[in-house]
Structures are given as C-alpha cells and as structure tokens.
Structure 1
Amino acid sequence: MGDVSVKEKAELDVLQKELAWLLKNEVHPVLNGVRETLQECYDCLPFHGAAEKVAEQDTQPQRILLTCPNASSINFKSVVTLTGDCVEEADLQFKHKQGKEHHLFRTKVKQGCVWRLPQIRDAGNHLCSALEIASKNDPTYEYKSVKEVFLLLDELMDSLLKSRQCLSLPKRKSIQDLLDSQQLLSFKPPLPNDVAISFYIHTSKLVLALYFLHTNSQHQRVEITHRVQVEAMVKWLNEAIIFFTLSLQQCQQLKDKLMAVSKILENP
C-alpha cells in the first residue's frame, strides 16, 4: 500500500507541475491568439459604435442584388446599397394585387434616408467587450488558479456568444412593430397600405422580408397573409461569423485542457 501511495503522490506531483506549466505557458498565448482573431473581426465588421471606430473605418458602399432563395410565385427582387451597418439605397419591385389583377409595383428609398441594421452595431459592441476582457491582463501577469482562468474565459465566451447570436439569431419584429416603423415612410412612391417590409441580418446574409397584410375587422387586428424574402451573402458578415466561432473554439480548447488536469487532481 505504501508503494502505491508513493506512486500516486508522484503522479499528483507531475500533474501539479503540468497544471502550473499550463497556467504559466498556455493561457497568455491562447488569449493573445484570441485577441488577434478578434482584432481581425473588429477590422472587418463595419459598425457604428465608438466614435473612433467610425472615424478610422473607410467603409466602401456595396451594391447588392437580393434575390429569392427558392422559386416563388411572387416576382420580388431588390437592389440595395449597403454601407457599413446601413442600407442607404434600395430599389424594390414585387407583384402586388390591385383589385383582381396583380401589377408590378416599384419603389425606392428616398435620397438621404437610411435603414440602420442594429444587429451589426450590437455585435460590434459585444465584440469590443470581448476585446477588453481578452486584454485585461498584461503578458507579465501570473494566473494563480484554474478557477481564475475559468472566470475570465466564461466572461469572454459569453461576450463572444452574444456577438455571434446578434447576427445568427435575428429578433423577429411583431406586426405592430413593422407597422409602427418610421422607416416604412422612407419609400417613394409610398408602400401600399397592405404591405410592410423589414431588413435584417441572418448569419452571413442580408435579408429583406416582404409582408402582405390583411385587416381582420372581426378581431380588430392586422394579420400577415403571406411572407416572402430576398437575400444575398455578404462577405464580411461571413468572415465575422468565422472569427467569432474560431475565438470560441480557442477558448474552449484551453478550458478543456485545464479541466482535464484539474479534475484528476480534485479526484485522484
């Protein structure tokens, strides 16, 4: 029994040294790698956040054709100009029923009007928080315990998840929110009374949703009778999603390494 005890103690000593080595030699390089990844993401994500971000970023307008991902009975397409986190110009055309006939309706955003995409701004703000967390301690700082590192990584990963979710999980607007939106007034000629639209981001795509409405007089409410959307991939959105995912993977791999050693030490 004494030999086993000595052997176990020797193994625990080795694990303690391995854990100390990980804390000293792995944490800072991983955090530095995450910072570099997030900096690339910051450089590619054109959001209106801090004043210095707006000033330093030379955002080039992008002319984008939005088309239906699947065959649709409604002829709907749009050409937009995307500048950073704003749709600055948009030309729409879709079939709209007038009486018993369908006619092609065309409209465009008035000059000087913009349609802001708050998802990009929100993702950028969470990204700034993640950068601050990853830069909290300078390279000479010595991490004392696994718990300390886990608290830092959990906080960092929470900001990263929120950043990614801002883009990948768009918040659906209610019918009333759509109808109350002042941005619907930015079209010339005005949209028909039974039509509402919404621009939003879904992962790496810019989406324009078109809603056909009906007023239910019996229940005194407006209902959506049909919805169709057009979309297009945006390169820098795709890059941002990749950067967020890569950063999360880097954090998780470090957590897994530390967890594997610390669990054995806790339950030898």
Structure 2
Amino acid sequence: MATAMAASAAERAVLEEEFRWLLNAEVHAVLKQLQDILKEASLRFTLPGPSTEGPTKQENFILGSCGTDQVKGVLTLQGDALSQADVNLKMPRNNQLLHFAFREDKQWKLQQVVGGSSQIQDARNHVSQAIYLLANRDESYQFKTGAEVLKLMDAVMLQLTRARNRLTTPATLTLPEIAASGLTRMFAPTLPSDLLVNVYINLNKLCLTVYQLHALQPTSTKAYSQGSTSFFPSEWGSQRLEVSHVHKVECVIPWLNDALVYFTVSLQLCQQLKDKISVFSSYWSSRPF
C-alpha cells in the first residue's frame, strides 16, 4: 500500500512539473506563434489607415464563369471598396448586349451593413481584436491555472471564427434590400429598371450577381424557380416582381485566400493547446488526490 502511494505521489509530482512547464513555457510559445501568424493575416487586408502613405493600391479582377458567358466584368478593388466596375450583360431573350460601368465619382464598400463596416473591415477588426487579446499576455505573464488558458483560447477562437464567418457567410439580402442599397445607382448609364446588381465577398472570392426581374400580373402569386432556388415576388410600391434569371460570376482574391488559411492554422493551434490543457484536467479529475 505504501509503495503504491509513493508511486502515485511520484507520478503526480512528474505530472505537476510537466503542467508547470506547459503553463510557463509552451503556452507562451504558442501565443507568440499565434501573434506572428495573425499579424501576417492582418497585413493581407490592405486597408487605408492613419499611417498609410498615399492611396491604397488598386487591384483588377476579371470575373467570369465556366458555365455561362452571359455576364463578364472587370472589378477594381481598392482596400475594402470597389473603385471601378465594368460589366457586360448579354440579355438571354434577344442576345442584346448591355454595358454599364461605375460613375467616376463613386466607390462601393463590399456588403457594408447598415451603420457598420464592410466585410473586409469587419474581418480585419476581429483579427486585430484577437492579436490584442494575445498581446495582453506577454512572456512575463504567469498563467496560474489551465482554466485561464482555456478562457483565453476561447476568446481568441471566437474572434477568429467571427472574422472567417464575415467572409464565408455574406449577409443574405432580399431583393428590396439590394434595390435600396444604392449599388444600382452607382452605374452609368443608369441600369434598366428590371436589373439588380449585388457585389460581395464569399470565401476567398469576389462575386457579382445580376438579377433580371419580370413584372407580375396583379393576380399572380406564383414563385419562380431558378435552378434549385425559388424566388418569391417582392414589392416596390404597387409593382410586384419576380426573378426571371440570375447570373453570377466570380474571381479568387489571392490575399483573401491567404488570410483564410491563416485563420484555419490559428484555430488549429488554439484547439491543440486546449486539448493539451484538457488532458491534464481530465487526469486531475480522475485521480483520488
């Protein structure tokens, strides 16, 4: 019995020493690694700021789809805003070619929520908050418990998940919301009344969607199916409309692809550290000490 107790005490002493090393050394090593990765992610979001010298560089993206040539476009991205747009649309019924472009005095924030920031700005803000949380625990800080580390990792993972979701899950806008957003008024010549345009980020892609509308008869209540999606009539004043065609084209933004990879790697590091802490926690809870 005494031998078993001595062995248990020795085992516990070894585990306690390993746990202290984990809290005092490995945790800070992981925090430093996370900061380095997230700083690289933050640099990918080329947004203008107080210390920015000169205008943010412009990037041109040629949008297209392998499934259709109905819509072709070139969009110019400057930070988190569209500074130029040049779009050609071939009307499906008569093959008439429509051309419209941004007015020279206009810019458009990518899916900016009412009273808030754009998708790109929101994602960068969440990354900055994650970096702030990590920087608050410098190498001189002594973690006292595993629960304290878990709480920090949960807070960092929450910010990273929000950053990723802001890019991977764009807000679902109704047709009236798209019409009221003001994007359609950015173009010259003025878009026909039966067209709506939406531009947004989805994952690592810049997406342009054009909706062609059709006026319904006053007695019609049907829904129109485009592919696997049903679009129900929406009202502007007394007019009821339905979507007759949807055209979507897109293009990969390389630096957004990099940022999403950094988010994934960072989330994995956070989870791995949580798992290590949990191994010790489960051991303590299962031993009669």
Tell me, yes or no, whether TM beats 0.5.
Answer: yes
Q: Distance in 2 between matches of 1:256 and 1:58?
A: 44
Q: Distance in 2 between matches of 1:56 and 1:169?
A: 32
Of the three residues 100, 103, 118, the one matched with 1:107 is: 100
Partner residue of 2:30? 30
Q: 1:106 to 1:29 in 2, by over 3 A?
A: same
How big is the alpha-carbon RMSD for the aligned residues of Structure 1 and Structure 2? 1.7
Partner residue of 1:116? 109
Instruction: Give the counterpart letter for 2:285 in structure 1.
Output: E
Residue 153 in structure 1 maps to residue 150 in structure 2? no
Deviation at 1:15, TM superposition (A): 1.2
Say which is worse superposed, 88-97 or 194-203, in terms of deviation: 88-97
- SS state at 1:26 partner: helix
The structure showing larger relative contact order (alpha-carbon pairs under 8 Å, at least 6 residues apart) is 1
- SS state at 1:43 partner: helix
Q: Distance in 2 between matches of 1:226 and 1:10?
A: 73
Q: 1:249 to 1:57 in 2, by over 3 A?
A: farther
- SS state at 2:13 partner: helix
Q: 1:101 to 1:112 in 2, by over 3 A?
A: same
- SS state at 2:50 partner: helix
Of the three residues 38, 57, 62, the one matched with 1:60 is: 57
Q: Would the aligned equivalents of 1:16 and 1:265 in 2 still touch at CA under 8 Å?
A: no
Residue 80 in structure 1 maps to residue 99 in structure 2? no
Q: Distance in 2 between matches of 1:244 and 1:178?
A: 30
Partner residue of 1:222? 241
Equivalent residue runs for 1:116-265 within 5 Å: 116-117=109-110, 118-216=118-216, 217-218=218-219, 219=221, 221-265=240-284
Q: Distance in 2 between matches of 1:96 and 1:31?
A: 54
Q: What 5-or-longer segments of structure 2 have no aligned partner?
A: 111-117, 222-234
Under a length normalisation based on structure 2, what TM-score does the superposition of the two structures give?
Answer: 0.85
Deviation at 1:215, TM superposition (A): 3.3
Q: Would the aligned equivalents of 2:82 and 2:109 in 1 still touch at CA under 8 Å?
A: yes
Deviation at 1:40, TM superposition (A): 0.8
Instruction: Give the counterpart letter for 2:25 in structure 1.
Output: N
Residue 95 in structure 1 maps to residue 90 in structure 2? yes
Partner residue of 2:67? 71
Instruction: Give the counterpart letter for 2:89 in structure 1.
Output: F
Deviation at 1:180, TM superposition (A): 0.8
Residue 41 in structure 1 maps to residue 69 in structure 2? no
Q: Would the aligned equivalents of 1:175 and 1:223 in 2 still touch at CA under 8 Å?
A: no
- SS state at 2:199 partner: strand
Q: Distance in 2 between matches of 1:52 and 1:106?
A: 37
Q: Distance in 2 between matches of 1:19 and 1:43?
A: 35
| Count of aligned positions | 261
Q: What 5-or-longer segments of structure 1 have no aligned partner?
A: none
Q: Would the aligned equivalents of 2:183 and 2:197 in 1 still touch at CA under 8 Å?
A: no
Q: Would the aligned equivalents of 1:86 and 1:114 in 2 still touch at CA under 8 Å?
A: yes
Structure with bigger helix share is: 1
Q: Distance in 2 between matches of 1:202 and 1:155?
A: 25
Percentage identity across paired residues of the two chains = 33
Q: Would the aligned equivalents of 2:201 and 2:207 in 1 still touch at CA under 8 Å?
A: yes
Deviation at 1:52, TM superposition (A): 3.1
